């Protein structure tokens, strides 16, 4: 199956059904189908199969239309943020070498759909895209901040669509709210999957949770996908339960139990599901609310079709959802272990700190610190030091404003091995995060390198 096949099929069955909503903008499946065909026809006349195009559009609806259109023209799309810095954009251009950059100032979408429909249908024979063809260059930076491109073929995503639909309780009646960027593959994958199921995707133009609540009410949202950080700020605005929402899905970083319990309190009717995956691997494991409560800290059991092995503490995966360059087996360098059939994470291989002959896993220090009720968040990084080789620095976010630095030092001495004791502890207002919700470890390290150079 190709990434757009089900969308075009659904448009034949239910053309007036609304597919996409962004503010006052609405597009039904017939319009979506025709725009995809129109764009693909235009692009295939300009470019050759396999050519790469960067899509740099602020409007998520237009970006999706061009992604679908480019995929149907057998082109490879690389989605980037519209507000990306010149330096970051140049870096990506050097990596992917696109034939074109599609941005707002150069695009026109012909709204005279009836006029073009016959011409579009007559040219369907031009398209000979196969499920093995690459359609997406997904940008991934991980916690190191170094950008890499994960090339995705159609089948690596579409082969999971029916399973996702069942696990996440998504269907053609789902109205899914997306609050983040579609450049983040967690958002993009769930959008494409829901459209393949015939559902409706609703975008938020605002980053503020009060606006999200307004959309949930006015647009009759019944499904949510957000990173944990977005759920946390949404919960701060809630004062009453919302029973219309039937499905809540999260990923990007581990959700804490406090947030999980609050979600269930305010969304009593919702099935809550957390999944673990990676840009290279796609879906790896998943767990529902009761399983997450019973098996504290787990990222769940293997996603259907996925074979997980632990080799030297590192998680290795075989599955049909791997990106082509990573088949037949790959690791995203996450460390972990099993308890029964449940998978647990224990940090990342490339975050291990070598200090004076000791290998220090920041995850262990961070987990210990976060178990302190006065601490809301913690991250540990290392900076070079002439005397100690490496300085271990703990950045701590307080949940109790009365917490003192000396209390944290005392807590560390009582709960950590000597080689794991932080040399320096700093209180910070919040930990820097990437759009996926993961800790931006590189940004945090750079902040402290300036302080200790």
Domain identity same for 188 and 227: no
Let me know: does 428 contact 398? Beta carbons within 8 Å: no
The residue ranges of the chain whose pLDDT is under 50 are: 108-118, 122, 125
Domain identity same for 409 and 270: no
Domain identity same for 141 and 234: no
Distances (CA, A) of 326 to 71, 97, 281, 322: 21, 21, 8, 6
Residue 94 confidence (pLDDT) = 93
Domain identity same for 211 and 173: no
Cis peptide before 328, with omega less than 30 degrees from 0?
Answer: yes
Residue 434 confidence (pLDDT) = 82
What CATH number did the domain enclosing 142 receive? Answer: 3.40.50.12780
Domain identity same for 136 and 60: yes
Distances (CA, A) of 59 to 3, 64, 139, 282: 20, 9, 18, 25
Residue 219 confidence (pLDDT) = 97
Under DSSP, the state recorded for 21 is E
Residue 355 confidence (pLDDT) = 80
Question: Which among 327, 351, 375 is the end of a domain?
Answer: 351
Residue 115 confidence (pLDDT) = 37
Residue 121 confidence (pLDDT) = 54
Q: What are phi and psi of 382, to 5 degrees?
A: -125, 145
Domain identity same for 277 and 224: yes
Domain identity same for 180 and 68: yes
Strand 148-153, strand 134-140: pairing: antiparallel
Domain identity same for 306 and 436: no
Residue 142 confidence (pLDDT) = 58
Residue 107 confidence (pLDDT) = 52
Residue 437 confidence (pLDDT) = 76
Let me know: does 403 contact 425? Beta carbons within 8 Å: no
Considering the entire predicted model, what is its pTM? 0.87
Residue 450 confidence (pLDDT) = 75
Residue 110 confidence (pLDDT) = 44
Q: Where in the sequence is the domain holding 196, given as residue range(s)?
A: 1-160+167-202
> How many domains are contained in the chain?
3
Angle (deg, nearest 10), helices 228-235 and 257-266: 50
Question: pLDDT per residue over 342-394, tens digit each?
Answer: 999 999 998 999 887 788 999 999 999 999 999 999 999 998 876 667 899 99
CA angle 448, 450, 453 (to 5 degrees): 100
Domain identity same for 344 and 375: no
Token pair, residue 140, equals 């991934």
Distances (CA, A) of 405 to 322, 391, 398, 423: 44, 17, 10, 12
Domain identity same for 119 and 213: no
Domain identity same for 347 and 360: no
């Amino acid at each position: 199956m190709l990434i757009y096949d089900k969308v075009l099929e659904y448009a034949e069955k239910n053309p007036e059904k609304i597919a996409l909503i962004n503010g006052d903008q609405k597009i039904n499946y017939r319009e979506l189908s025709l725009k995809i065909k129109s764009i693909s026809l235009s692009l295939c006349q300009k470019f050759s199969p396999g050519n790469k195009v960067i899509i740099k559009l602020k409007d998520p609806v237009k970006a999706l239309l061009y992604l679908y259109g480019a995929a149907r023209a057998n082109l490879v799309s690389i989605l980037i943020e519209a507000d990306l810095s010149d330096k970051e954009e140049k870096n990506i251009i050097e990596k992917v070498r696109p034939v074109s950059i599609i941005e707002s100032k150069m695009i026109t979408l012909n709204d005279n759909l009836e006029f073009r429909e016959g011409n579009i249908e007559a040219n369907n024979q031009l398209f000979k895209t196969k499920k093995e063809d690459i359609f997406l260059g997904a940008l991934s930076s991980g916690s190191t901040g170094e950008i890499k491109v994960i090339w995705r073929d159609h089948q690596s995503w579409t082969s999971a669509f029916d399973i996702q639909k069942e696990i996440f309780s998504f269907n053609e009646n789902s109205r899914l709210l997306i609050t983040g960027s579609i450049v983040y593959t967690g958002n993009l994958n769930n959008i494409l999957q829901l459209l393949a199921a015939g559902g409706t995707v609703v975008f938020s133009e605002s980053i503020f949770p009060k606006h999200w609540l307004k959309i949930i009410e006015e647009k009759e949202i019944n499904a949510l996908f957000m990173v944990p950080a977005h759920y946390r700020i949404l919960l701060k605005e809630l004062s009453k339960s919302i029973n219309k929402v039937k499905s809540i899905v999260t990923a990007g970083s581990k959700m804490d139990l406090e947030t999980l319990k609050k979600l269930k309190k305010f969304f009593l009717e919702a099935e809550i599901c957390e999944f673990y995956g990676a840009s290279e691997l796609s879906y790896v494991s998943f767990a529902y609310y009761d399983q997450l409560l019973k098996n504290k800290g787990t990222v769940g059991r293997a996603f259907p079709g996925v074979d997980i092995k632990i080799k030297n503490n590192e998680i290795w995966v075989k599955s049909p959802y791997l990106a082509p360059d990573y088949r037949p087996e790959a690791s995203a360098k996450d460390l972990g272990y099993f308890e029964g059939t449940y998978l647990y994470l224990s940090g990342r291989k490339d975050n291990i700190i070598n200090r004076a002959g000791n290998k220090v896993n920041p995850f262990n220090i961070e987990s210990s610190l976060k178990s302190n009720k006065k601490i809301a968040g913690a991250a540990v990084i290392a900076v070079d030091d002439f005397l100690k080789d490496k300085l271990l620095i703990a950045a701590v976010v307080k949940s109790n404003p009365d917490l003192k630095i000396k209390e944290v030092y005392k807590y560390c001495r009582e709960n950590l091995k000597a080689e794991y004791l932080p040399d320096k502890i700093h209180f910070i207002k919040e930990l820097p995060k990437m759009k996926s919700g993961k800790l931006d470890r590189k940004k945090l390290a750079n902040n402290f390198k300036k302080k200790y150079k």
